[in-house]
Amino acid sequence: MSSFREIHFETIDSTSKYLKNNFNELPDFTIVSADYQTNGKGRNDRQWISDKNTNLLFSLLIKNHEMMQNYASLSLYSAYLIATYLESIGLNKVSIKWPNDVYVNGKKICGILLEGNIPSYLIIGVGLNVNQKEILDELLIHQFTSIYLETGKKVNMKELKENIFKSFIDSLYNKSINNEYIEYANEHNYLKNMEVFVEISGKIEKVKVLKINEDNSLKVVCNGLEENLISGEVSFHV
C-alpha cells in the first residue's frame, strides 16, 4: 500500500463536505473519517444518519487526473470493494444495487456517494453500517442492516477501517481497476430481473432490469425496447 493521509474527526458535519471545502490544500488520496457526522449527506439530498462510534464513515479525495477519468466506474467499483470485503469476513447474500449501494440479505448495509468537480477533484463518500444494533430512522426509505445485525458479532472497528482503507488505496493508487468488478456486479446484481421505476427522458417508466454493461450503464427493457441507463435513482414504487 502506498502512503495516504488520514484525518480523523470525533465529530464533523460531513466528511465529504470537509474535503469539498479543503481539496485545494489537501494531497491526493486524503481520507477523512469521523466517529459522528452532524449533517451526513446521502444521495438525492437525503440525510445519512449514523449513531456515534458505531459505523464507518469516510470520504476519499482523488485529485489525480488519470484516475479521475475513471469516474464513471468509481461508484460501482467502490461498491465492489465493500461487497468483496464483506464476503471476505463471512457475510452471505451480499449484492450490489446499481449504481452504488451494497445490500446484504436484501437490506442496505452501505451507501456510496460520488461527488466532484472534474477536473479539480472527486470525492468518494462511504457510509457502512458496522455495529449498529437497531435502525432508528423511520424517515429512511430503505430497509437497513449492519454487519452486527447480520452476524451477531461486534466488529473491531480499527481493524475493519484499516482493511477497507487498504483495499481502496491499493487498488485506486495502483490504478488497478480491471473489468472483473463488472462481472462480479452482474453475478451479485440485486436488481437483476426486477421490475423497477426509473426516469427516462423526464418520464417515470416501469422497466425490467437485464444487466450491467461494460461501460457501467444498466441495460433495461422499457416498453419492449432495450435502453441503457447511465445513472440515476432506481425505485420500487412510483
For binding to ligand BTN (CB under 6 A), which residues are involved?
Answer: 14-16, 37, 40-43, 46, 48, 57-59, 101, 111-113, 125-127
82 vs 112 by CB, closer to ligand BTN: 112
Our CB check for ligand BTN shows the closer of 18 and 210 to be: 18
Q: How far is the CB of 72 from ligand BTN (least distance, A)?
A: 18
Least CB distance to ligand BTN at residue 174 (A): 24
Residue nearest to ligand BTN (CB): 111
Min separation Cβ 225 and ligand BTN, Å: 30
Task: Kindly tell me which of 40 and 188 has the beta carbon lying closer to ligand BTN.
Answer: 40
Residue 207 CB partners (closer than 8 Å, separation 6+): 195, 196, 197, 198, 200, 220, 221, 222, 227
Q: How far is the CB of 56 from ligand BTN (least distance, A)?
A: 8
Give the pairing of strands 218-222 and 94-97.
unpaired
- Minimum CB–partner distance for residue 35 and ligand BTN (Å): 12
Q: Which three cell numbers stand for residue 150?
A: 447480520
- Which residues lie closer than 8 Å to 48 by C-beta, 6 or more apart? 37, 40, 41, 42, 57, 111, 113, 127
Residue 218 contacts residue 229 (beta carbons within 8 Å) = yes
Distance CA(102)–CA(35), nearest Å, equals: 21
Q: Is 73 exposed, middle or buried (0-12, 13-18, 19+ CB in 10 A)?
A: middle
Nearer to ligand BTN, 42 or 227 (CB): 42
Output 57 or 149, the one with its CB closest to ligand BTN.
Answer: 57
